[in-house]
Chain A
Amino acid sequence: MSGAGHRGGGVTDFSTYLGPEDTLAGRPAEGGIVGRSGLASGTGKVDGPPKVTGAAVYTADLRLPRMAHAKLLRSPHAHARILAIDAAEALAMPGVLAVLTGADLPGRHGPIPVARDETALAVDKVRYRGEPVACVAAVDEATAREALARVRVDYEPLPAVFTLDEALDPGSPAIHEHLARKAARTGRSPNVLRRVHQSFGDPDAGFAEADLVMEESYFYPGSTHVPLEPHAALAAPEPGGRLRVWTSTQNPHSVHRTIAAVLGLDPAAVRLTKPEVGGGYGGKCDTFVTELCASALALRLGRPVRLALEREEVFYAHRGRHPTRMRVKMGLKADGRITALELEALANGGAYASYGVVTAYYLGVFGTLPYRLDHYRFTATRVYTNLPPCGPKRGHGAIQPRFAIELHLDRMAHALGLDPAEVRLRNAVEPNTVTVNGLRVTSVGLRECVERVVEASGYRDKRGRLGPGRGVGLAASAYMSGALHPTYANEGPHSMVQVKVDRSGRVTILSGTADIGQGSNHMLATVVAERLGIEPADCTVVEADTDLTPVDLGSYSSRVTFMAGNAALQAAERVRKRLVSAVSAELGCDPADLVLRGRRVFVRDEPDRGVDWRRAIALAEAEAGALGAMGSYRPPRIGNRFRRQSVGPSPAYSFTAQVAEVSVDLETGEVRVEHVWCAHDLGRVLHPEIAAGQIEGCVYMGVGEALLEEQAYRDGLLRAPSLLEYRVPTVHETPAIHPILVESHDPEGPFGAKEVGEGPQLGTVPAIAAAIHDATGAWLTAPPYTPDKVLAALRRRGVR
């Protein structure tokens, strides 16, 4: 269904590859984008052609015989008790098959075990406007939609909580009852999901040591992912009491487990398949009402049921960026060295936890990268409000504090008369070190990122010299390559991959990973092909089907290249050993002298002495039977240095520096981002176009958050629940994006690779904010930088 590839040629140039012991780490780093303008024909991704021809199959494209359609009735209240639901009139309509309410699916779920506070449909209470209350199944979508109006729900409205201040008030009405009991004991607000406070070193001594201490407040707005494909799920009963589910998800494993838990099924009785996914960016990490209600209805009705969201509903499904109020206090020596950092972050999380416990940690933990800090403390609080739930969006939890810290650092550099680029270089974290909060840092390409982006953009020549209304700004950042600890406690690998080899020469890679457009299928094919001396086009990737593919934890926390890539590499290495053993016996040579390259296995110094790929397979099968292998990856056991250090550490960190160039219309306040140069240390380039595409996508999403996007509400009702009103950047608002690939050869990454899918977004907004300052002299501390805000700032400064 997904990911099958039949391509000729591979774009990645591994021609300098020498032999099995000589991993890709031996190849000199080239940086930049290799061959971007001179691509030969047929060098796209393994799953490229289906996507450009319309043949790629997404969940809502699937049709099954007798397929019924489901629609959701949603709450008009932000906070209300459900007194009664009467579905009789809807059920009496011709064509209506069933109506589900919260009582039918009462099991609580949530992606983080300590905060399972959500139900498929509201039980007893609604907690945000737009929360699903009932689900109607009918023979067609129109009938289901019409029946929604005939489901009567009696509500008793309750006082609602919308803002951070309301949520933090000890007298605020409790959104979740179990927290009310706890709050009554402690005298604190009943709407705090998690408060994390950590302190390292001696921050007060650090501030005392500083030549300049500054403290300022920042606000980062909420925004939402807007995947172009609305969430959809299709479920069908299977013979033998099994259930099949197809769904648009980033985390097939987590959704598989959750469906089984909520429906009370043995997970072995559920087969979950992820078709192509039309974008996620974090927005399809949770288990959604689509999956749970389609599954329950399919079992109840004994026929397939599809539940696909409409565009407006996607905005209410949300799980987007937490609007976050922050206070940053930083100490700097006169030479720019950071002496101490203090961060306070308050995040408005909406009605349910989602990944919010993790958000609370991420808001603080990553404060110690990318700069060396000896003294650091933070307090991060994630609260409940009566708004659609926030969750993980690209750069989860790290985007907001990085914005505040980078802009703050720029302000302090400015105050001290220092070059902001030099300040970044002076503080850059060193490779093979441990941060003050215990993050083990291996490869670091930050210095090269800063130098190359400064060079490429002409930052030093441009800063302060472009004239009124034009400016440049710089920011740096770091991000994780997957989490050391899984989202639920288990001792198993985080990723497992099976490689099977057919006598035809075709190699099939089976993996529970979820390609959501980021290119993980091609990554797997590249890693395996490189190890076996064949081309990515020789590989078929079968992904994310729980009956076929071994578990992978999912596409979150930028983990897939590092973890699934390593699992694939291990599986391929095991296959390679079999091939080398059989071929060396045939040729009578030392196995160590054999090279796999160009669909051949041959003696390194005698390239004519060897066998072709199919012959090698035949020899390996003859020697020891079926040819295939499993590989797995579990992160290293890096000891926790203190309690509750489990959220945040990663086996490797990526590093980024970027420069934005903007123009600001001093009459209208309109900001245009003209260019963004973004240098990203991804360890090792596995595929230059895909890697560059991830950087471009990150910068694009950052530009949207900088200039246009805000998930805003009026009394809990979305202000912009359509693509016309919620303004994502079109081509007209998108700058020229100049990606620069920096390689630091991570010792543990597959061929040295690290993440590239999220990190490049972290610095985009602060770089733009710094550029606006360069253009106008105004420090704008709360994106999005819409004309009204910019004009107000210019007026305050007397520019207008």
Chain B
Amino acid sequence: MSDPTRPGGSPPEPPRSRGPGRGPASEVVASFLVNGEAVRALVPATRTLLEFLRDELGLTGTKHGCDLGDCGACTVLVDGVPRLACLTLVAELEGAAVTTVEGLAADGRLSPIQDALDRHGAAQCGYCTPGIAVNLTALLAEEPHPDDAAIREVLGSNICRCTGYTRILDAAREVAGGGQ
């Protein structure tokens, strides 16, 4: 792309490269489901699921916190298993079913864990909340009545900087206890 505001005009264009030092990128095709809808992606092989969800599908509920797999804000489900979208390549997803935070609420109603997180005031700034909602959803799908240790084990992969986890634990315990 040339820009008239730049001095000296444009030199011949070298091959496009994507990302630092990666050289010319090969592209990949992957077909998979995102929140139940079929998606066919034609993307550079280096494209992460986080970038794809946010930049190409406009699903910005999945948050970018660190890009290094440290914070858990980008947690999504791939075939029901929690995965960090920032460390997952689109190229890995052929045939997979991806669920993001946008896919948790059905028919405009909050899922049980979303409802509990809301009512307990577990979302302050809310930036970690999507990842936590997704992560706890996976736990509760696998084990509807997890004990405290199981809840803590799962929450250990999500950083929340606002709440001290207290209200998140309360919400998870409530749903795990069947609403008691």
Contact = CB atoms under 8 A, between A and B. Distances in A.
Interface of A: 36-37, 39, 41-45, 47-58, 60-61, 63, 88, 91-92, 94-98, 139, 142, 145-146, 149, 225-230, 276-281, 300-301, 310-311, 516-519, 689-690, 692-693, 696-697, 699-701, 703, 722-724, 728, 730-732, 734, 736-737
A71 to B, nearest CB: 10
Contacts of A728: 159, 161
Interface string B146-180: 00000010011111111111111110000000000
Please provide the 7 A-B residue pairs with the shortest distance between their CB atoms, ordered closest to farther.
Answer: A54-B61, A517-B125, A278-B127, A51-B126, A700-B164, A723-B70, A61-B60
Contacts of A36: 170
Contacts of B14: 94
B99 to A, nearest CB: 12
Interface in B1-23: 1-3, 5-8, 10-11, 13-14, 16-20
27 contacts: A36-B170, A52-B123, A54-B100, A55-B61, A55-B102, A91-B7, A92-B10, A96-B6, A97-B5, A98-B5, A139-B1, A142-B19, A279-B162, A311-B65, A311-B71, A517-B127, A693-B167, A696-B166, A697-B162, A700-B165, A724-B70, A728-B161, A730-B159, A731-B152, A731-B158, A731-B168, A734-B164
Contact of A54 (B13, B62, B64, B162): B62
B152 A228 contact: no
Interface stretch (B26-34, B88-96, B110-118): B110-118
Contacts of A44: 118-121
Given A518-B124, A697-B124, A41 B160 contact: no
Contacts of A692: 121
Contacts of A732: 152, 156
Interface in B125-149: 125-130, 133
Contacts of A39: 119-120
B119 A229 contact: no
B164 A697 contact: yes
Nearest to A55: B61
Given A279-B162, A723-B71, A516 B119 contact: no
A96 B125 CA distance: 35
A51 to B, nearest CB: 3
Interface of B: 1-3, 5-8, 10-11, 13-14, 16-20, 54-55, 58-68, 70-71, 73, 100-102, 104-105, 110, 114-115, 117-130, 133, 152, 155-170
A523 to B, nearest CB: 13
Given A229-B125, A697-B164, A724 B68 contact: yes
Contacts of B122: 52
B67 A311 contact: yes
A680 to B, nearest CB: 14
Contacts of A517: 123-127, 162
Nearest to A693: B121
Contact of B117 (A52, A95, A142, A278): A52
A47 B124 CA distance: 9
B20 A142 contact: yes
A748 to B, nearest CB: 27
B117 A693 contact: no
Given A48-B121, A279-B161, A723-B71, A60 B110 contact: no
A435 B6 CA distance: 62
A343 B114 CA distance: 49
Contact of B124 (A41, A55, A693, A703): A693
Contact of A229 (B63, B104, B160): B63
Contact of B102 (A43, A53, A701): A53
Given A52-B122, A145-B19, A722-B66, 10 more contacts: A53-B101, A53-B104, A91-B6, A94-B10, A97-B5, A97-B6, A228-B65, A311-B67, A690-B121, A732-B152
Given A51-B129, A230-B64, A94 B16 contact: yes
B20 A146 contact: yes
B142 to A, nearest CB: 18
Contacts of B163: 693, 696-697, 700
A51 B123 contact: yes
The listed residue with most B CB atoms (<10 A of its CB), out of A50, A52, A724, A734, is A52
The listed residue with most A CB atoms (<10 A of its CB), out of B2, B13, B73, B114, is B114
A635 B138 CA distance: 50
A43 B119 contact: yes
A276 to B, nearest CB: 7
Contacts of B60: 54, 57-58, 60-61
The listed residue with most B CB atoms (<10 A of its CB), out of A690, A696, A722, A737, is A696
Contacts of A56: 126
A519 B162 CA distance: 11
Contacts of B5: 97-98, 300-301
A335 to B, nearest CB: 37
A149 B179 CA distance: 55
Nearest to A522: B121
Nearest to B15: A94
Contacts of B129: 51-52
Contacts of B3: 96-98
B152 to A, nearest CB: 5
A52 B159 contact: no
The listed residue with most A CB atoms (<10 A of its CB), out of B13, B61, B104, B164, is B164
A311 B70 CA distance: 10
A699 B121 contact: no
A228 B11 contact: no
A734 B121 contact: no
A228 B164 contact: no
A51 B117 CA distance: 10
A646 B110 CA distance: 49
B169 A731 contact: yes
Nearest to A48: B118
Nearest to B102: A54
Nearest to B14: A94
B100 A722 contact: no
A731 B155 contact: yes
A689 B70 contact: no
Nearest to B157: A730
